[in-house]
Structure 1
Amino acid sequence: MQQLEEKIKLLKVQLEKARNDLFKAEAKLESLERQEEEILRETKELGVEPDQLQEEIARLEKEINEELDKAWSLLPQELRRPNGSD
């Protein structure tokens, strides 16, 4: 009988732990959903739809690289080489 009572106590402890883990997971999910909503709102404010984010990132990276190339081309030739040497 003692062994059966111990098993029941252990089961109760494990159920309570599972319940607590569930509450934590639900709270985390709610937090992540709020973050997602905020990010989607911010991207729309910037004029970018969520399904176009990868394309927009690629476009911006290309634009940055082009502008950097232009800036380098405006430097005198001797400053374009690393450390100003050949």
Structure 2
Amino acid sequence: MSEYEKKINKIKENLDKAKNLRIRAEARLEDLNRQKQEILKELDELGIKPENLEEEIQKLKSEIEELIYKAENLIPEDLIKNN
């Protein structure tokens, strides 16, 4: 096999690898777009706009912290410490 044939075969091999990578990337992109649409649909069903998502997350964090605080205060610590 001549040097040119080796180089041409290497180029073909690299082109095949690049083609496979492109196909996998396109499939991944389609999957990510599908997931994005599902998430947007779920947000819509919850009545949350994507641009308000960060605000909604902070609101939920505050509610969780408040509920944890209330739950902790319902536990009689003096009884627990004595036992």
- Bin of the TM-score, shorter chain as denominator length: 0.7 to 0.9
Identity of aligned residues (%): 46
Cα deviation for residue 77 of structure 1 reads: 4.3
Inter-partner Cα distance in structure 1 for 2:2 and 2:74:
86
AA at the equivalent of 1:15: L
Q: Distance in 1 between matches of 2:18 and 2:32?
A: 21
Matched, 1:70 2:67: no
What is the RMSD of the two structures over their aligned residues, measured on CA atoms?
A: 1.7
C-alpha displacement at 1:64, in angstroms?
1.3
Q: Which runs of 5+ in 1 are unaligned?
A: none
Deviations 1:31-74 (A, max 9, x none): 00000110111011011111111110100110111122222223
Aligned partner of 1:37: which letter? Q
Number of equivalent positions: 82
Who is 1:49 aligned against? Answer: 49
Aligned partner (choices 58, 81, 84) of residue 81 of structure 2: 84
Q: List structure 1 runs of 4+ shifted beyond 4 angstroms.
A: none
Cα shift at 1:30: 0.3
Q: Does 2:2 match 1:2? A: yes
Could you tell me which amino acid in structure 2 is paired with residue 73 of structure 1? N
